[in-house]
Amino acid sequence: DVIVSVAWRQLETEEEVKNLVKQISGIQDEEDQNFQLALKFTWSNFRFHRFLDANSHKVQRSVNGIYEKLMVHSDLSKAESWVRLTEEFLNSPLPNTDGIKTDVHHSLLDLLLHLSDSPLNSNYSETPRLKETEKEDDFDWFGYLQEGELDTGPYPDTPEWSEEESEDEDSQQPLSREDSGIQVDRTPQEDQEKTVPVTWTVGEPDARTWLEQHVVTPYWQGHTPRFPHSLHLHSNLLNVWDQHLYNTDPLYLPEEKAFVTETQVIRETLWLLSGVKKHFIFQHQDGKVVVRNDVVVTHLTNNCLRSLLEHIAVYGQAVFRLQRFIDEVTGYDTEPCPPGSYSSKQGTEPPFRTYQAFVWALYKYFTSFKQELTTIERDLIGKDETVTLAGVLDRLSPHLAQIKVLHKVFCTGVAEVPPETPNVVRASHLLNTLYKAIIEYDSVGEASQQAVALLFSLWTETVRPYLEIVDEWIVHGHLFDPAKEFIIQRNKDVPVNHRDFWYATYTLYSISETVESEEKLSDAASGSSGGEQASRSQLTMVSFLKPVLKQIIMAGKSMQLLKNLDCKEAEQTDDAERKSLYTLFLESVQSRLRCRDDSPTDTVTEQQATKQSLIKMQSIVAQHLQMDDIHDPLLAINFARLYLEQSDFHERFSGGDVIVDRSSESVTCQTFELTLRSCLYPHIQKRYIECCGNLMTTLKKDYRLLEYLQAMRNYFLLEAGDTMYDFYTAIFDKVLEKESWQQLAFLNVQLQEAVGQRCPEDSSRLSIFLETIDPVRKKQPVNNLDGLTLSYKVPWPVDIVVSSECQRIYNQVFLLLLQIKWAKYSLDTLTFKEVKAKRLEGTPEEVKAKEPINQQIHRMFLLRVKLMHFVNSLHNYIVTRILHSTGLEFQHQVQEAKDLDQLIKIHYRYLSTIHDRCLLREKVSFVKEAIMKVLNLVLIFSDRWQVGFGAWKIGSIDKMESDFKNCHMFLVTILNKAVCRGSFPHLESLALSLMAGFEQC
């Protein structure tokens, strides 16, 4: 046969070649010499020349090119025919060729393309071709095969019923959760409008009875007739067991039972898990799902069936509670809406978006779960294979485990919260519950990967409103939280342009770990101080925001302040191009896990590498544990898994011998916090740096913050020496001349003249006040300057940094400096000529008799020198060691400040340091009192020096020397002890200086 077919094909080829030569050359006589030459030439090319195979891609490009040309020339009918015919040709079989779109097809099409002559210019009309239709088999196989097998019923002419028609009819009926069936969650509105209701017309009254008897046994009605079933022993286990009980127990009394099939039990199980409330086997009593006592199946005992159904009822109860929660939040709608569109029963209350997002996540999960239930029910209806209750439960076991997890999270995070709990506590508690559940389930290991994945998806959906609130605040400076569910809430009583805006605008709520009947809420001022207070009181916020809570607060307040400053940097955000924080977070999570999805072919290799690394790491850890006589392989492998998640584990334990492929990383507990740290926190940190950096730049450039801080140091700390010297020396001269200087007009004139000569801008901001002081304090000369208060008007928003409290501290240091300057000025202005000129005027007789005048004057000179040494030492310590060195450090820290809160802290720390080192703190008040006694002694000494030697009383020099010596010795002793303890290293220079003066005494 093969030889014959080959010979037949060769004959056909020869005839075709002859026809080809005739068509091309036009010679019809085969005996012609030219015809024979052409035939030999053609055969020679066919047999001995090699032709390139047709390129299918090139041919297809040519076909597409012709189609485009036809379309350009608007020859639509020809273009449509071209595409259709070429497709039909490529998809039609050829003689002696297997398959479609083969090389033979493309070769023939390539030949036709080369032979075609400008198809655009030719007139073409498609010739209709009739296809041979296959003869249909009109034999009634159905009637032949079913002859004598089926009961056609009382009306044999009734058309046959099919499952497809039944499904079409069922699809027209509106479905609800109250019906015993699987709820269809997606029903296109258009299909509902186009459907026509199907009616079933029955002519005889007994037709419905016949239909009910032949469709399904009405097991939901009492005293239903027994359905026919197999007589096999396995199918009658219940009867066998009842007979055994009847024979062994004389008091056994059979009860009325409702018989159902296993298929019916499976269907009601599916209906229960899909959220249907009305059942026969399962019943709802007081919000709980219970099982009927009288329901039995023929192949199971009553106890066995009941234990199995009670197990199912537990999950049905969980589904029922979760579904009821979904209905409550969504307003009892049949289909919840996305988180953006909330439809609550309480139309006047703002939407609680955290619960909305949580419900939306639950709804999406139940949608996929109900699809699985629908698939199982279709398999049950199709009866293509045996479906058992055990098989259904085994198929649903992953979903049932996930429902158990969801129900546990719901009970802990939602159901156990008291009804009157504020929304901020509800939202924080729910997010913390999900956060802790992820960590708890992930600690189990690989056994809970599905639970961790479910909880992570649930958490990412639930956290969306929180991240949207954060995004709106740190990007636009608007804390949009109508339901008051965010842990930071706006105090509307304080406007933005208020001087206390930075401290009293926001309230940070700290929520206790345990949710009790009375929630403990503690509010603190926003910023780091609030965080520190919360940590000291051992209260927790939303767990995932803890590491970046300060950055969120700083960025939000900075952005709001920038918006009200009309800053250009604050208007650079474009919402059309900008991605939200939530979107950036999801994209970062996807990119973190994309390595595993992009290389599916390397999965086995990655798993093998990870397994080998785990084995190596386990041996290393086991060796370390054996050093402590611990032989626990489970502990070793768990430590190995933990170390594999660390980036530097090989450096610590194996010296770089183990190589881990990090692409196999998934979202687990070891990586969940790492996921937040790498996918969420960097976006918040980036925005924090931008907002706070823009605010600091604006305050420094546009509002001259650094200049105002320098002005405070110039005038309050007397760093502008020449300017302030002119001011306070005018006061000291009045005092020396015994003139009154407490006139407010005089003080302001002197201040304006001193400042206006060098800094005209500051002259309008500076003013001085006299506060009333206790008359008892005026008894000492050094206290005469008390009540002298300097004021510097600082504009908003600079007054956030230079507050009234800061100016109060500045004034305390300013008063101390004035007192030291007054004492030093009093000693510096004393001359020797005054004493010599007045030494004989009114000299008391007892002074002359007791001690020579020259010796008295010499003692006064020595006392003056000692007092000058003390005052100069104190002055140099305050001005050089404290103000100057601390001021340089303060300037450097101000330049490095990242945000306004950090700048405020630096300023407060600077003032606190100056206040402490100037011995103004209450704990070292005794040291200040000793210094004040010496300064008071200096002023008394200078006053008597100016009056003259004759005003001295007997023993005055002795008492002054004694008082100074006691104070001097006390201060030297105290300062030396403090320096030796190392608690006050800055006092060392003052202690050494006073010690040198004391030794000279």
Instruction: Give the pLDDT score at 773.
Output: 74
SS3 490: strand
Q: What residues contact residue 289 under an 8 Å CB cut-off, 6+ apart?
A: 272, 282, 283, 313, 314, 316, 317, 320
Max mean pLDDT range (304-318, 830-844, 930-944): 304-318
Contacts 24+ apart (CB under 8 A), 223-228: 223/256, 224/258, 224/259, 226/259, 227/259, 227/261
Task: Enter the pTM of the model.
Answer: 0.64
Instruction: Give the pLDDT score at 519.
Output: 38
The model's pLDDT over 505-563, given as tens digits with 9 standing for 90+, comes to 888 876 554 433 333 333 333 333 333 333 333 334 688 888 898 899 999 989 989 88
Instruction: Give the pLDDT score at 117.
Output: 55
CB 833 within 8 A of CB 737: no
Instruction: Give the pLDDT score at 964.
Output: 87
For 568, which DSSP code? S
In the chain, pLDDT over 90 holds for what percent of residues?
21
User: What does the mean pLDDT of the chain come to?
Assistant: 76
Lowest mean pLDDT among 48-62, 314-328, 417-431, 477-491: 48-62
Instruction: Give the pLDDT score at 325.
Output: 92
Question: C-alpha angle with apex 317: 513 to 401, nearest 5 degrees?
Answer: 70
The whole-number average pLDDT for the span 193-212 is 55
Model confidence at 942, pLDDT cuts 50, 70, 90, reads: confident
The whole-number average pLDDT for the span 764-793 is 83
Model confidence at 792, pLDDT cuts 50, 70, 90, reads: very high
Question: Residue 757: is its pLDDT beyond 50?
Answer: yes
CA-based nearest residue to 116, from 52, 76, 66: 66
The whole-number average pLDDT for the span 482-494 is 85
Max mean pLDDT range (382-391, 611-620, 799-808, 832-841): 799-808
The model's pLDDT over 666-690, given as tens digits with 9 standing for 90+, comes to 444 456 777 888 889 999 999 999 9
CA-based nearest residue to 411, from 544, 313, 515, 518: 515
Lowest mean pLDDT among 56-70, 384-398, 984-998: 984-998
Residue 969 phi/psi, 5° resolution? Answer: -65, -40
Instruction: Give the pLDDT score at 361.
Output: 93
Model confidence at 791, pLDDT cuts 50, 70, 90, reads: very high
Strands in 286-428 per DSSP E: 288-291, 295-296
HSE-up of 250 (CA within 13 Å, CB side)?
A: 0
Lowest mean pLDDT among 285-294, 314-323, 664-673: 664-673
Q: Position 503: which residue type?
A: Y
Model confidence at 144, pLDDT cuts 50, 70, 90, reads: low
CA distances from 364 to 338, 359, 876 (A): 10, 9, 75
Lowest mean pLDDT among 55-69, 568-582, 903-917: 568-582
The whole-number average pLDDT for the span 730-753 is 88
Question: Residue 963: is its pLDDT beyond 70?
Answer: yes
Strand partners, 282: 291
Radius of gyration of the chain measured on its C-alpha atoms: 49
Question: Residue 593: is its pLDDT beyond 80?
Answer: no
Under CATH, which architecture does the 703-997 domain have? Answer: Up-down Bundle (1.20)
Instruction: Give the pLDDT score at 407.
Output: 94
Instruction: Give the pLDDT score at 57.
Output: 86
Q: What residues contact residue 980 under an 8 Å CB cut-off, 6+ apart?
A: none
The model's pLDDT over 380-417, given as tens digits with 9 standing for 90+, comes to 888 888 888 899 999 999 999 999 999 999 999 999 88
The whole-number average pLDDT for the span 729-733 is 90
Question: Residue 268: is its pLDDT beyond 80?
Answer: yes
The whole-number average pLDDT for the span 294-300 is 82
Domain boundaries, the chain: 1-48, 257-333+351-437, 438-643, 703-997
Q: What residues contact residue 966 under an 8 Å CB cut-off, 6+ apart?
A: none
CB 951 within 8 A of CB 887: no
The whole-number average pLDDT for the span 598-610 is 47
The whole-number average pLDDT for the span 824-848 is 63
CA-based nearest residue to 559, from 398, 694, 756, 749: 694
Q: Where are the alpha helices (DSSP H) in 91-236?
A: 103-115, 141-145, 163-172, 189-194, 207-215
The model's pLDDT over 858-908, given as tens digits with 9 standing for 90+, comes to 888 888 888 899 999 999 988 888 888 888 899 899 988 888 989 999 999
Model confidence at 229, pLDDT cuts 50, 70, 90, reads: low
Q: What residues contact residue 858 under an 8 Å CB cut-off, 6+ apart?
A: none
SS3 144: helix
CA-based nearest residue to 560, from 487, 484, 483, 498: 498
Question: Residue 252: is its pLDDT beyond 70?
Answer: yes
Model confidence at 708, pLDDT cuts 50, 70, 90, reads: very high
